[in-house]
Amino acid sequence: MIGHMTWTLPATVRTGGSLTAPETELLPDYLAWHRATFLHKCAGLTGEQLALRPLPASSLSLLGLMRHLAKVERTWFRIRFAGQDVPPLHFVEGHKDADFDLLEPERAEREYLALLEEQRLADLAAAGAGLDELLAAHGEEQSLRMTYLHVITEYARHNGHADLLREHIDGVTGS
């Protein structure tokens, strides 16, 4: 009989980038570093651990953050910037926090792969576009530069949440 295998989020390599590159290189590299940092904070945990909500007053979990960040990638790069006709992720009518609340630990590997795919597709949506290229988000024009900055701040904020969650799950701390 084959034993039950529990999926564990794999290790992620974080690479540094230039501190003097032009913005066209600096912003995508900085976003890539924040993406890898989030996954680094989740590495080594099982789906069950990723779904834990260790702070009683909050619905935050690492798995919920993973789902939310996949939604952010799709929304800001593919839907808003590239105008792709794709459905929003984790949308449930009448439930504004479905990405955080409707978790299935056994789907953690699929959620991880979905995040990686949304990151890849976001990069493709922005490839070749100039930072000053405008998009219409919520009826207002904004640049690709602003899109990068918004998504970087999403990751930066949620990487802080991930630090706190991980420390409560198994005591691991770090950058």
Per-residue three-class SS string for 92-139: ECCECCHHHHCCCHHHHHHHHHHHHHHHHHHHHHHCCCCCCCEEEECC
Nearest to 63 by CA among 36, 88, 33, 38: 38
12-60 confidence digits (pLDDT tens): 988 888 888 999 999 999 999 999 999 999 999 999 999 999 888 889 9
> Does the pLDDT value for residue 5 go beyond 80?
no
- 174: which 2 tokens? 């770090």
How many H helices and E strands in the chain? 6, 2
> Which residue do the tokens 């003097």 mark?
20
pTM: 0.92
Task: Assign domain 23-170 to its CATH superfamily.
Answer: dinb family like domain (1.20.120.450)
153-171 confidence digits (pLDDT tens): 999 999 999 999 999 999 9
Amino acid at 19: L
Amino acid at 135: L
32-45 confidence digits (pLDDT tens): 999 999 999 999 99
Nearest to 111 by CA among 51, 25, 59, 28: 51
